[in-house]
Amino acid sequence: MIEESINDVLFSEKVIAERIERLVEEMAKDNRCKKIVMIGILRGSFMFFADLVRALYHHGIHPIIEFTTMESYSGTESRGVVKVLKEFTTDITGADVIVVDDILDTGRTLDFAIKHLMERGAASVKTCVLLDKPERRILPLQADYVGFKIDDHFVIGYGLDYDGAYRELPYIARLTPKT
């Protein structure tokens, strides 16, 4: 196993919570009168998703909650092919969907997710990510709601993993291999 170390904390629990509150104000304003289905892409989005829907509740937004499991990564490298490992069951025909992911990197996952949700009959699909690494983009995609833009670092914590580890950290940090 590669030894690695957690370097700088990029976003503390407090900073994340404050940013989510602002993000949710924006989302609540745009989606007030709609019947929303929120779909979290597992596993990376689980912590962000839970904090988002709790904050949305306090703004009077009560979405239907769904999850799908998709994968495009192995270690710190994007494999380029997105796979649905677990489908969702809710009928989204005619629904306004907000799809939530941990991070927008090459854009492959969200691009695939948007097409997939439209094929399943969504009336509209908006995207929400906690982190955005614009430098790494391969497909021309912008998320509707972005928590933080970051430089091209591999990050862990708050749902994000390195080979399955570190998802439980309540903050976001950079991961660098030990030399």
Question: Which residues of the chain form contacts with ligand IMP (CB under 6 A)?
Answer: 44, 72-73, 78, 101-109, 154-156, 160-161
Q: Does 107 bind Mg ion (CB under 5 A)?
A: no
Q: Does 159 bind Mg ion (CB under 5 A)?
A: no
Exposure string (b/e) for 54-76, b if CB count within 10 Å is 16 or more? ebbeeeebebeebbbebbbbeee
Scanning 28-36, 37-45, 115-123, 170-178 for contacts with Mg ion by CB under 5 A, the matching segment is: 37-45
Backbone φ, ψ for residue 76 (5° rounding): -105, 10
Q: Does 44 bind Mg ion (CB under 5 A)?
A: yes
| 3-state SS assignment for residue 120 | coil
Looking at the Cβ atoms of 55 and 110, the one nearer to ligand IMP is 110
Number of amino acids touching Mg ion (CB under 5 A): 1
Report the nearest approach of Mg ion to the CB of residue 161 (Å). Answer: 8
Do 60 and 28 touch, CB atoms closer than 8 A? yes
Looking at the Cβ atoms of 61 and 147, the one nearer to ligand IMP is 147
Catalytic center residues: 105
Looking at the Cβ atoms of 13 and 161, the one nearer to ligand IMP is 161
How far apart are alpha carbons 94 and 37 in whole angstroms? 10
Report the nearest approach of ligand IMP to the CB of residue 91 (Å). Answer: 25
Do 98 and 27 touch, CB atoms closer than 8 A? yes
How far apart are alpha carbons 107 and 88 in whole angstroms? 21
User: Beta 172-177 vs 155-156: how paired, if at all?
Assistant: antiparallel
Looking at the Cβ atoms of 97 and 156, the one nearer to ligand IMP is 156
Do 106 and 137 touch, CB atoms closer than 8 A? yes
Q: How far is CA 121 from the centre of its chain?
A: 21
Report the nearest approach of ligand IMP to the CB of residue 104 (Å). Answer: 5
Q: Does 40 bind Mg ion (CB under 5 A)?
A: no
**Which of Mg ion, ligand IMP, none does 78 bind, CB closer than 5 to 8 A by kind?**
ligand IMP
Where on the chain is the footprint of Mg ion (CB under 5 A)? 44
